[in-house]
Amino acid sequence: MFTPVEPSALITSVLRAVALRQPDSEAMRAIMQRSSEFPSSLQAQLTGIALDPAAREAAEQSLDVFWSNEAARQDTLRSSGTDREVIIGSGFHAAVYAAVRVLTGFPKPLVLERSSRAGGTFAMTTRATFYLNSRNRPGGAGQAGDLGASLNYLPGAPIQAANLSMAEYQSNTDMAFIIRLTLAQFADVVTDANVVSVSGDTTGLQIDIADRAPVPAGRLIDARGLGDPRLQSLTNGTTIVTFAQFMNRMAGMWPLRDLRRVAVIGGGDSAKCTVESLLGLAPPPLMAAAALDRVDRIDWYADDLPDTCETWRQNMRGRYQGIGRYLRPDRLGVRRLLVQNRRVQPVALPGAALIDGRTYDLVVVCTGNQETPIPGITADSFEDYAIGGADAVASRDYTLPVFRVGPHARLPFTRQEREDGIANIAANAVSMFRTAGKTAALAATLNAPTGD
């Protein structure tokens, strides 16, 4: 298990900010009484912060304030050079690469995040809005079926997800907190940095950022995750929304107000999390009440989804079993959730949306994601990159020192993964846990950028 020797300057400032706001924190005192059970005092302190809601809020605010400081952003960008590694994206795999890279003895990479908040998909909202797909349990990295492993494990992180709660399934903000602490410890992060093009050769790169001066780099790690919503051109942000827009709505007050009939399009994990929110199975909203905020009917448009309670429970994994009971009438004979196994396209109306002649108060489009191209690094210029002739851990550009990691790399299933049954679930092709170890392996084995 990786253990940082000393907290970074940013982590130190977070600890100081929490201490100033939490002088009488019972949670912090309680966790320090168990400090001997932790590999380091830092892990004990960060766990105490994670378990105390007020302390965690103070830590989150401290990170956001630091990363939004424009003077600090400019100083960080000016520090880059042809011997620097730059990561596009600030999500799970950016954190994995940065942590393992630094703990292997290399300098901190520069992380460029196009949005105003670091943390990737899990940090899309500041409040918990959906649950992770893997059970919360202690242990190191591993594969599905390994009961001694934690699929939510982030290699090299100062603390792990299992430090945060006893919940069977943790929320998005739990993982976001781990990611953000890891970046604060092992990376230099610049938010509001939208990369618009990349150019260069084998000796170095120039990264062009919207409304900022170009940044030189010796190597680029493309960790942009799954990309942008595939059909976002159909959305209007009000009556037809993407998954991310819907989750941001769920993070606000009264998110289900005036929603009586809602449609969800798509059958993947995003769609399932959306349906959970509409049914009240997701993390509780900031403000909502059954008498005021109940969705009467949800039409779920997706290919090949079970449409009865019995078939749902026979074919769906345990994580989503709760949805199944809504596929049958309740005690009053009312069925709130109906699966419609066909493809549709919504049409925006004033104050509503239309699907096949039926109006809806809201339509949530969850039809997957697609790559947002960056001129200079296109998908067809990459090939699988393996270590020592073994299985691929990333994809690499043919001509430039650019690597893609995580879901963005679209790595094929290995023989072992097929034998273990991991490949039997199509969604595992882009799952976080499957590719975490591969990103860690890449970070641990690459030479310094000047050695390419």
Q: What is the pLDDT of residues 55-74, one digit of tens each?
A: 999 999 999 999 999 999 99
Return the closest-CA partner of residue 91 out of 435, 446, 448. 435
Q: What is the pLDDT of residue 145?
A: 64
Q: Which domains does the chain have, with CATH numbers?
A: 8-67 (no CATH), 76-227+372-451 (3.50.50.60), 230-370 (3.50.50.60)
* Average pLDDT of the residues of the chain: 91
Q: What is the pLDDT of residue 2?
A: 47
Q: What is the pLDDT of residue 70?
A: 96
pLDDT at 29 over 70: yes
pLDDT at 328 over 90: yes
Q: What is the pLDDT of residue 451?
A: 41
**Spatial CB neighbours of 197, under 8 Å, sequence gap ≥ 6:** 207, 208, 374, 375, 376
Residue with tokens 């002649």: 357
Q: What is the pLDDT of residues 126-161, one digit of tens each?
A: 999 999 998 998 888 777 666 677 889 999 999 999
Distance CA 359, CA 262 (A): 9
Highest-pLDDT range among 30-39, 143-152, 224-233, 393-402:
393-402
Residue scoring higher pLDDT (248 or 150): 248
Q: What is the pLDDT of residue 273?
A: 97
pLDDT at 369 over 80: yes
pLDDT at 240 over 80: yes
Q: What is the pLDDT of residues 94-131, one digit of tens each?
A: 999 999 999 999 999 999 999 999 999 999 999 999 99
Q: What is the pLDDT of residue 339?
A: 97
pLDDT at 404 over 80: yes
